[in-house]
Amino acid sequence: MSVNTCVVRSNFASLARFPELFAGHGVTQVHVDALRDPGDLSPDDLSAITPRFSDVAPALVAMVRGFPAGFDVNVGNFPFCVEPRLAHVTRHDGEPTTLVAQDPDGSVAPCDKYAVRGDKRAKVSGCASCVLDARCAGVPRPYLDFYGAAELVPLSALRLRESAPVAPLFDAHVAPMLEAALGAWAPPAPFALASVTRRNGALDVVFAAPSP
């Protein structure tokens, strides 16, 4: 049994009691999702239900810590920089997904689910320097109108290291150190460094040599 909850102004204070609420009822997974798609709500209606990220963060931390070790609890679309202690359980978007919808005229228009949602989100100046920028899809554009961007401070490798466990974020922890090391070292001839990429929490370092 999986529980999925959208975090809004009226319910975020109760998140800390989720472990107590679901204990003993066969729940094996809990996912809570920050608002990411305003849909057709008016700005006033959206503002009325949208909490400030920094107000929600303490309840989310308490919720995650309240579940027993190994329990499948995760948080969707919450900014890593607002609360890095949640980074190891936070996910933005998901697997590539195609939506196929039929328009009133009968035409069919496939679209990339997360590309469409991405049009409604934004990043701010400095996001590119965040160590978890590649994992982050940004915040809903209306959120910036409601609360501004003061909470969104780029996350440094040091702050991440002090806040989040290494194992689930191995690539984010190690990438800056690896890039610095490779910048001061060259592989023996005839090899050359071809690329360093992050993939599924791992780092792929590829070396290349001229064809014989």
pLDDT, tens only, 140-162: 999 999 999 999 999 988 888 88
Better-scored residue on pLDDT, 102 or 1: 1
Phi, psi angle pair for 87, to nearest 5°: -60, -35
Match 């949208």 to its residue by tokens: 50
Q: Torsion angle of alpha carbons 71, 77, 78, 84, nearest 10°?
A: 70
CB 64 within 8 A of CB 32: no
CB 108 within 8 A of CB 100: yes
| Strand ranges in the chain using DSSP code E only, listed in sequence order | 2-7, 29-34, 72-76, 90-91, 98-102, 108-112, 121-122, 139-140, 192-199, 202-208
Better-scored residue on pLDDT, 69 or 164: 69
* Lowest-pLDDT choice from 19-23, 38-42, 67-71, 126-130: 38-42
DSSP3 helix / strand / coil % (the chain, rounded to 5): 40, 25, 40
Residue 141 CB: number of other CB atoms within 10 A? 12
For residue 158, what are its two tokens?
Answer: 């040091």
CB 19 within 8 A of CB 66: yes
Count CA atoms within 13 Å of residue 200 on its CB side: 1
Helix (H, G, I), strand (E, B) or coil at 196: strand
Residues 6+ away with beta carbon under 8 Å from 191: 207, 208, 209
CA 210 to centroid of chain Cα atoms: 39
Mean pLDDT for 83-94 is 87
